[in-house]
């Protein structure tokens, strides 16, 4: 008889511990949901309506980098060094074709 009472009390203790673990996991999952939903760095729209995004970066030297940035319908190259920043708009093939001189024949041709 005594062993049956001991068995029931250990099962009850395991049930309480299991409920405590599930409760803690639920609190952690709720905190993660709230932090992602309300404290997102891109803002409330999830980044879908952002006007600016970095497409690519290239490190030239330890303190000199180039960044290709897309803003609205334009692409801009930003050069950053210890001396400051320089901006240059990139002409895309969709905007207009770029004309170059052929070095051998002296003819100009369209390049996409």
* Residue among 91, 89, 111 at smallest CA distance from 99: 111
Task: Per-residue pLDDT tens, the chain, 112 aa: give them.
Answer: 455 555 567 777 888 889 999 999 999 999 998 888 777 665 545 556 778 888 999 999 999 999 999 888 889 999 999 989 888 888 765 544 444 444 344 443 444 4
- DSSP state, 97? P
- DSSP state, 92? P
Sign (positive or negative) of CA dihedral 40, 87, 67, 112: positive
Contact between 65 and 59 under an 8 Å Cβ cutoff? The reply is: yes
């Amino acid at each position: 008889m005594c062993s049956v009472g001991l068995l029931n009390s250990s099962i009850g203790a395991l049930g309480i511990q299991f409920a405590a673990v599930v409760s803690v996991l639920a609190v952690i999952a709720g905190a993660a949901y709230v932090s992602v939903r309300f404290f997102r760095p891109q803002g409330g729209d999830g980044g879908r309506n952002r006007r600016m995004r970095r497409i690519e970066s290239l490190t030239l030297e330890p303190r000199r980098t180039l960044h290709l940035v897309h803003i609205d319908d334009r692409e801009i190259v930003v050069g950053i060094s210890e001396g400051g920043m320089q901006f240059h708009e990139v002409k895309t093939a969709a905007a207009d074709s770029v004309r170059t001189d052929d070095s051998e024949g002296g003819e100009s041709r369209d390049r996409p």
